[in-house]
């Protein structure tokens, strides 16, 4: 049995070797000649080396291009979170009244100063005429008060001079009354002396008439003379009393004149100042009346509502016949000239950004049309902090999120680059800021 198995294995081996020889012969029939095989072996290394050179060159170019692109990208910062911004002008009424004309429609382009609507001006015209009449009355009163100032001044000076003269005259009258009183006293002395003499004469004549030394007629004459002299004494004393009363009266008049003079000197300037104050008050009334006239003219002018800027009419809310109140919105004007760009850059992009750097602006709605500008301001806080409900991360898990800060970019040549007024607030913009 072992012998048979060995024989079988040897037979199988012979068959396999025969089969291999047959395959080798068939393969030998298909092999190229020895020369062509050698030529192919010489060309293969050349092709491989050429391909390696091309691959290496492409890789080097890609690396260089990537390096240049990265290096160039550090020269600028851009973002797609930006839009055209501008002040929206809310046009409102400054007076109350009924609208009688409307000159604009929605989405109509208007220029600064163009009429928008007109309010009935008749009430304000009447108010203006009333204010002008009050002004004329105030001006007349002011003229009168102003003219009275020098008149009062002259009257005061006259009063001071007159009272001064009265003082002088009263002083002279006092002196005159005193002199007259002194003369009256002297006459009393003289009358008393005459009375004494005549009385002594009567006493001397009495024994003589009894002895008929003198006639009765002489004695009666002496008695009459004595009686007359006694009456003269009484008259002179009465005159003294009268002159003394005149002296007292003159002294009182002098005191009154001095008081009036002092009052004139003291109150005279005050009277002038009072009249001047009245004149100033009248002039102030004129200014007040003039202010009311100016206000009435302004109110009359406010009945013509005009455009405060050039732009597009939007949200028109006024019709003929509507009654407007003060501050009521009439429409909104979207500006076309006073525009800028608000770009929300990531905080990681602001390390080298500063005001004054040039910016290239591409507007999406205009097919990437380019505008030029410059950085004007960098916002004072992030957009999330300026939101209505800023986030609070004081409690719970904190996840750091890159914040965005608004940057204002002003156009540097908007008048020429936007001559067709194609820009509109809210358009998306891609700003490219040159930070190097």
Q: What is the mean pLDDT of residues 71-94?
A: 86
pLDDT digits (tens, 9 = 90+) for 86-107: 889 999 999 999 999 999 999 9
Which of the listed residues 278, 301, 324 is the one where a domain comes to its end? 301
Three-state helix/strand/coil letters over the chain: CHHHHHHHHHHHHHHHHHHHHHHHHHHHHHCCCHHHHHHHHHHHHHHHHHHHHHHHHHHHHHHHHHHHHHHHHCCEEECCCEEEEECCEEEECCCCEEEEEECCCCCCEECCCCEEEEECCHHHHHHHHHHHHHHHHHHHHHHHHHHHHHHHHHHHHHHHHHHHHHHHHHHHHHHHHHHHHHHHHHHHHHHHHHHHHHHHHHHHHHHHHHCCCCCHHHHHHHHHHHHHHHHHHHHHHHHHHHHHHHHHHHHHHHHHHHHHHHHHHHHHHHHHHHHHHHHHHHHHHHHHHHHHHHHHHHHHHHCEEECCCCEEEECCCCCCCCEECCCCEEEEEEECCCEEEEEEEEHHHCCCCCCCCEEEEEEHHHCCEEEEEEEEEECCCCCCCCCCCCCCCCCCCCCCCCCEEEEEEEECCHHHHCCCCCCCCCCEEEEEEECC
pLDDT of 40 above 70:
no
| Average per-residue pLDDT for the chain | 81
Q: What is the reported pLDDT for 42?
A: 53
Of the listed ranges 31-45, 283-297, 329-343, 373-387, the least confidently predicted one is 31-45
Verify that 127 and 271 share a domain, yes or no: yes
What are the pLDDT digits (tens) for 108-140? 999 999 999 999 999 999 999 999 999 999 999
Q: CATH number, domain at 293? A: 1.10.287
Of the pLDDT bands very low, low, confident and very high (cuts 50, 70, 90), residue 28 is: very low
Identify whether residues 351 and 272 lie together within a single domain.
no
- pLDDT at position 428 is 94
Let me know whether 111 and 127 are in one domain: no
Region 9-33: what's the mean pLDDT?
45
Does residue 176 share a domain with residue 94? Answer: no
pLDDT score at 27? 44
Average pLDDT over residues 254-281: 77
Hey, which of 17-31, 64-78, 97-111 has the most confident mean pLDDT? 97-111
Residue that is last in its domain, among 301, 331, 363: 301
136 lies in some domain = yes
- In this structure, of 64-68, 305-309, 396-400, the range with the lowest mean pLDDT score is 396-400
- 49 has pLDDT over 70: no
Q: Do 383 and 329 fall within a single domain?
A: yes
CA distance 71 to 88: 41
Give the integer Cα–Cα distance in Å for 31 and 25.
10
pLDDT of 265 over the 80 cut: no
What's residue 337's pLDDT? 83
Task: Write phi, then psi, for 57 (nearest 5 degrees).
Answer: -65, -45
Q: What is the pLDDT of residues 144-187, one digit of tens each?
A: 888 887 777 777 777 777 777 767 777 887 788 788 878 878 88
- Residue 142 shares a structural domain with residue 273: yes
Q: Among 271, 301, 331, give the residue marking a domain's end.
A: 301
CATH of the domain at 343: 2.40.30.170
Q: What is the domain range of residue 262?
A: 122-301
Which has the higher per-residue pLDDT, 412 or 190? 412
CB 159 within 8 A of CB 196: no
Q: What is the mean pLDDT of residues 240-248?
A: 81
Q: How large is the average pLDDT for residues 257-278? A: 76
For residues 295 and 317, state if they share a domain. Answer: no
- 344 and 318 in one domain? yes
pLDDT of residue 436: 73
Highest mean pLDDT among 261-270, 295-304, 372-381: 295-304
- Specify the pLDDT at position 39: 52
Q: Is residue 85 part of a domain?
A: yes
pLDDT of residue 100: 95
Query: Is the per-residue pLDDT at 248 higher than 90?
Result: no
Provide the number of structural domains found in the chain.
2
Looking at the fold, whether 176 and 234 belong to one and the same domain comes out as yes
Q: Average the pLDDT over 366-380 and give the result.
A: 92
* 231/359 same-domain check: no
pLDDT (mean) for 276-296? 92
| Listed range (34-38, 206-210, 256-260) with the worst mean pLDDT | 34-38
State percent of the chain over pLDDT 90: 35
pLDDT at 395: 59
Q: In terms of domains, do 256 and 131 share one?
A: yes
């Amino acid at each position: 049995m072992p012998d048979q198995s060995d024989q079988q294995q040897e037979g199988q081996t012979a068959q396999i070797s025969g089969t291999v020889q047959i395959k080798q012969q068939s393969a030998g029939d298909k092999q190229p000649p020895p020369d062509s095989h050698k030529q192919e072996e010489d060309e293969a290394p050349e092709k491989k080396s050429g391909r390696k050179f091309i691959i290496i060159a492409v890789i080097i170019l890609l690396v260089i291009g990537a390096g240049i692109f990265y290096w160039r990208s550090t020269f600028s910062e851009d973002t797609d979170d930006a839009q055209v911004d501008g002040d929206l002008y809310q046009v409102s009424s400054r007076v109350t009244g009924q609208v009688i004309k409307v000159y604009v429609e929605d989405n109509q382009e208007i220029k600064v100063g163009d009429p928008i609507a007109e309010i009935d001006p008749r009430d304000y015209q009447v108010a203006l005429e009333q204010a002008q009449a009050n002004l004329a009355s105030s001006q007349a009163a002011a003229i009168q008060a102003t003219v009275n100032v020098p008149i009062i001044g002259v009257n005061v000076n006259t009063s001071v001079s007159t009272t001064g003269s009265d003082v002088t005259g009263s002083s002279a009258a006092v002196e005159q009354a005193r002199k007259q009183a002194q003369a009256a006293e002297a006459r009393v002395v003289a009358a008393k002396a005459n009375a004494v003499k005549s009385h002594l004469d009567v006493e001397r004549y009495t024994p003589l008439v009894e002895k008929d030394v003198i006639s009765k007629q002489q004695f009666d004459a002496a008695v009459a003379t004595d009686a007359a002299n006694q009456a003269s004494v009484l008259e002179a004393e009465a005159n003294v009393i009268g002159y003394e009363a005149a002296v007292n009266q003159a002294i009182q008049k002098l005191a009154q004149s001095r008081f009036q003079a002092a009052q004139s000197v003291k109150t005279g300037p005050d009277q002038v100042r009072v009249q001047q104050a009245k004149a100033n008050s009248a002039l102030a009334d004129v200014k007040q009346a003039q202010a009311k006239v100016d206000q009435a003219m302004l109110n009359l002018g406010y009945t013509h509502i005009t455009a405060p800027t050039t732009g597009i009419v939007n949200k028109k809310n006024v019709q003929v016949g509507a009654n407007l109140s003060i501050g009521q919105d009439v429409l909104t004007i979207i500006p076309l000239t006073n525009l800028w760009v608000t770009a929300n850059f990531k905080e990681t992009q602001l390390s080298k950004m500063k005001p004054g750097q040039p910016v290239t602006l591409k507007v999406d709605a205009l097919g990437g049309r380019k505008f030029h500008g410059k950085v004007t301001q960098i916002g004072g806080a992030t957009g999330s902090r300026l939101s209505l409900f800023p986030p609070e991360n004081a409690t719970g898990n904190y996840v750091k999120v890159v914040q965005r800060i608004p940057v204002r970019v002003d156009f540097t040549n908007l008048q020429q680059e936007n001559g067709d007024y194609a820009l509109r607030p809210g358009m998306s913009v891609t700003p490219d800021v040159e930070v190097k």
